[in-house]
Amino acid sequence: MRFSILLSLMLALSIVWATDYRPADDFSIQFTTAKAEGNFKGLEGTIRFTPEELENSKFDVWVDAATISTGNKTKDKHARGDKWLDVENHPRISFVSSSFQKTSDGYLVEGTLSIRGVDKQLSIPFSFEDSVFQGTTTVRREDFGIEGPFLFGGLVGDEIAVRLRVPVVTE
Q: What pLDDT band is residue 136 in, cutting at 50, 70 and 90?
A: very high
CATH code of 20-170, in short, is 2.40.128.110
Predicted model pTM: 0.85
Tell me the CB-side half-sphere exposure of residue 3, using CA atoms within 13 A. 0
Give Dmax (Cα) for the chain: 73
Cα(116)–Cα(138) distance, rounded to whole angstroms?
17
Quote the Cα angle for 147-148-150, to 5°.
Answer: 145
Quote the Cα angle for 117-26-169, to 5°.
Answer: 90
Checking if the pLDDT of 19 tops 90, the result is: no
Cα(23)–Cα(13) distance, rounded to whole angstroms?
22
Residue range 80-94: mean pLDDT, rounded: 94
Checking if the pLDDT of 58 tops 80, the result is: yes
Q: What pLDDT band is residue 64 in, cutting at 50, 70 and 90?
A: very high
Tell me the CB-side half-sphere exposure of residue 11, using CA atoms within 13 A. 6
User: Pairing relation of β-strands 132-140 and 159-170?
Assistant: antiparallel
Cα(79)–Cα(82) distance, rounded to whole angstroms?
8
Cβ pair 112, 130 in contact under 8 A: no
What is the pLDDT at residue 1? 54
Provide the residue type at 13 as one letter: L
Question: What is the domain partition of the chain in residue ranges?
Answer: 20-170
What is the pLDDT at residue 158? 80
